[in-house]
Amino acid sequence: MSPPTSRRGPTVWRNWSGAVRATPLRVERPTSVGEVVDLVHRARAEGVRVKPVGAGHSFSPIAHAPQVQVDLTGLSGLLHSDPSTATVTLAAGTRLHDIPGLLDPLGLAMTNLGDIDRQTISGAISTGTHGTGLGFGGIATQVTGLTLVDGTGTVRTFGEADPQLRGAVVGLGALGVITSVTLRCSPAFSLRAVERPEPLPAVLDSFVERCGQEDHLEFYWFPHTSVALTKTNTRAPAGRDLAPLTRRQRLVDEQLLSNGLYAVTCRLGRSVPTAVPTVNRLATALVGDRVFADRSDRVFTTARTVRFHETEWALPLAAIPEVARELDGMIRRQGWRISFPVEFRAAAADDLWLSTAHGRASGYVAAHRYHREDPSAYFAAVRDIALAHGGRPHWGKMHDLGHHDLHDRYARMPDFLELRHRLDPDRVFANAYLERVLGS
């Protein structure tokens, strides 16, 4: 077997935000499962570590690869579909934004999505990426099967009936190189979106109740304002009463107002911090007031051209209103000028071992900072508030917790560590991040 295509360094890799950089010894680009097996065997023989990377959209250093980086772009596309079970098998490097085009001819859609679709399917499930909607779990809950090459070079497949699948899905890249993912999909559907500004106090008072009433609810809050920009998406059969945004509307709303205004706000905030409250109030007046209906993926996802750092925490759903109030008070006391909005979402409880929603209906609070600003102090303050309410950090977002901090927050952590020991006994897939959060 010929070895997979590789490029020997130095090649500098950066994640999307630019906060994480690596200069791997080489980059492997396999195009088959056999080539993945081969590269793992060669790495073991050389005594070097292997790290698969998806799209580099994690804000944490979870995908940092100082030795052998594995680019899964050559493993992408639809491998198999089963109309009788509404399942599809996708190669691991398939980007989320390519999946709707693969599913639409089958009359299927992903059950839920987040608002960013640049990730690979393997990266999205491995880090616990999620959308919003109390009746729906994260993307990993849609997985019914998984194939990976473990740390011994063995190909392992976990089916839906295998209890180990619950541990392998949100695997943090610690168990092996995922080569394919099987998803259970939904019949294709459309979404009616209502986006509007509402008084923040009223939204906080009703958030938990509304999450139980709406299919998909989230809101953004610009610090220094008393307005919540709510986004409510209601599911409908595919093609029913569609009223999509025109190309001009998308250009104005998403490029000029949302991304363009964010860019101006963030740049101004760096040079003239005192202007941030005024600009944030202007932003809430200009964005977030529209109604439209379209194919589900076109409503779930939005373009993000302004780069930022992000930390996100999963909390018991009932804690979200109080956490939002504490964040507001903390920013006021510190006298900070925060230009980026804070995002609040919800997701159903699940039984995945390292899912941030394991065992509890969860609310999520995501704080952001412009990529040219130091987020450390702000994110540490958000962390302290979240931890006081039982918070769990999103694996793909910035946080500084270690194994001892995390162990007691996950009842199945011991089971995951035992699975890791069996699949990667020599820690072929370890990096500094995994040693911090999982131990050595």
**Cα 54 to Cα 416: distance, rounded to the nearest angstrom:** 22
Q: Are 71 and 120 in contact (CB under 8 A)?
A: no
DSSP codes of every residue in 294-348: EEHHHHH-----S-EEEEEEEEEGGGHHHHHHHHHHHHHHHT----SPEEEEEE-
pTM for the model stands at: 0.95
Burial bucket for residue 254 (CB in 10 Å: 0-12, 13-18, 19+): middle
pLDDT for res 10: 60
Instruction: Classify residue 293 as exposed, middle or buried by CB count within 10 Å of its CB (0-12, 13-18, 19+).
Output: buried
User: In the chain, which residues fall in CATH 3.40.462.10?
Assistant: 189-393
Which residues of the chain have a pLDDT value below 50? 1-3, 7, 9
Strands (E), 245-307: 290-295
pLDDT of residue 256: 66
Structure confidence at residue 1 (pLDDT)? 45
Q: CA nearest 270: which of 366, 381, 370? A: 370
* 330, burial (CB in 10 Å: exposed 0-12, middle 13-18, buried 19+): middle
Q: What is the pLDDT of residue 65?
A: 96
> Residue 152 CB: number of other CB atoms within 10 A?
17
Architecture of the domain defined by 189-393: 3-Layer(aba) Sandwich (3.40)
Residue 257 DSSP class: I
**What's 58's DSSP letter?**
-
**CATH topology classification for 74-187:** 3.30.465
The pLDDT value recorded for residue 210 is: 98
203 vs 52, 90, 98, 213, 290, CA distance in Å?
A: 41, 39, 34, 14, 18
Tokens 């909607």: give the residue.
133
pLDDT at position 317:
98
Sign of the CA dihedral running 111, 200, 392, 126: positive
Beta bridge partners of 286: none
pLDDT tens for each residue of 26-71: 999 999 999 999 999 999 999 999 999 999 999 999 999 999 999 9
Q: Which residues pair with 189 in a beta bridge?
A: 237
pLDDT at site 9: 47
- CATH 3.30.465.10 maps onto the chain at 74-187
